[in-house]
A = this chain, B = another copy of it.
């Protein structure tokens, strides 16, 4: 295999194992920047050729020079965005896979709503004022905290009662859409000009995905409430007749991003929503980078199997995009 000059680096959490494994499978050497207390998985699973230990992910900038010297390209993921914040990411000098400016459109909920709505995608109604709550709503805290503490409310009174436990939190009050959660994993390559669907999953949330194991009568006598802490992910496939619809939605998201933030969104992204009984996807969030919901598919998904004759994860697809850009001398298409 061609020895590649560049190395692939990311920070050790979220989907790092997949990213680094995929990079190795494409022939890159790999670097895991890792907090000392989190290093064990990256020793147990030999996907990192080098581990750079830091006391805290906040020290990432201190080791940036090392990464530049090693010809590293960094791959952002959810924890990367959470710990570095988009303003620090924008100032990074080490080459970064993906359009940095698009991250603002992911983290700012108003910009996100503008993007998706202009792309013609259905979103849950947002209530700016609690007093307007006229249907079931879900109350979400800002920042990627894995859904901890999210709660349901039915009325302004119900909301006020429950928010009292979180006096200093900024929240979003969203319509609660009834249907099944689904996460659609896309990949758009500027190198090939093609959009791909790489798979689907649903999250496994504590206790939302097990409260239903308690009989209704017992739930009521024991006063059980739903919580939404993400614990993991479960693989699934969708009805084949839904694929044209999901493809169309993905195309619109990419097209709209080109108008809003040149050169637009590329690499992996995810629409996170609810499919109602009318088979409409209501999207409550977009992630403009790899999501952990691709982790069930580190050896490929049923969908990547249709196209590739080898195990193709989202992490590996990123590495292949970079490799192809290197080979075709199109690095400007993948770094942003």
Which A residues are closer than 8 A to B by beta carbons?
Answer: 13-17, 21, 37-41, 44-47, 79, 136, 146, 148, 152, 154, 176, 178-182, 194-197, 200, 202, 204-227, 229-244, 247-248, 274-279, 292, 295-300, 302-303, 305-307, 311
Residue contact B221 to A232, C-beta cutoff 8 Å: no
CB-defined A-B contacts under 8 Å, sample of 10: A15-B240, A39-B244, A44-B194, A180-B207, A182-B232, A204-B236, A218-B226, A229-B278, A232-B238, A232-B242
Residue contact B279 to A231, C-beta cutoff 8 Å: yes
Give the CA-CA distance A182 to B232 in the complex, in Å.
10
Which residues of chain B come closer than 8 Å to A208, judged between CB atoms?
A: 213
Residue in B213, B218, B248, B299 whose CB lies within 8 Å of A300: B299
Closest to A210 in B: B180
Which residues of chain B come closer than 8 Å to A236, judged between CB atoms?
A: 204, 232-235, 296
User: In the complex, how many angstroms separate the beta carbon of A258 from the nearest chain B beta carbon?
Assistant: 19
Residue in B136, B207, B234, B306 whose CB lies within 8 Å of A277: B207
Give the CA-CA distance A326 to B41 in the complex, in Å.
29
Residue contact A226 to B222, C-beta cutoff 8 Å: no
Residue contact A234 to B235, C-beta cutoff 8 Å: yes
Residue contact A298 to B305, C-beta cutoff 8 Å: yes
Residue contact B136 to A239, C-beta cutoff 8 Å: no
Given contacts A180-B207, A297-B302, A307-B45, contact A277 B216 (CB under 8 A): no
Residue contact A215 to B204, C-beta cutoff 8 Å: no
Residue contact A218 to B46, C-beta cutoff 8 Å: no
Residue contact B211 to A211, C-beta cutoff 8 Å: no
Which residues of chain B come closer than 8 Å to A277, judged between CB atoms?
A: 148, 206-207, 227, 229
Give the CA-CA distance A281 to B69 in the complex, in Å.
41
Given contacts A215-B225, A219-B217, A306-B17, contact A296 B209 (CB under 8 A): no
Residue in B231, B240, B278, B295 whose CB lies within 8 Å of A180: B231
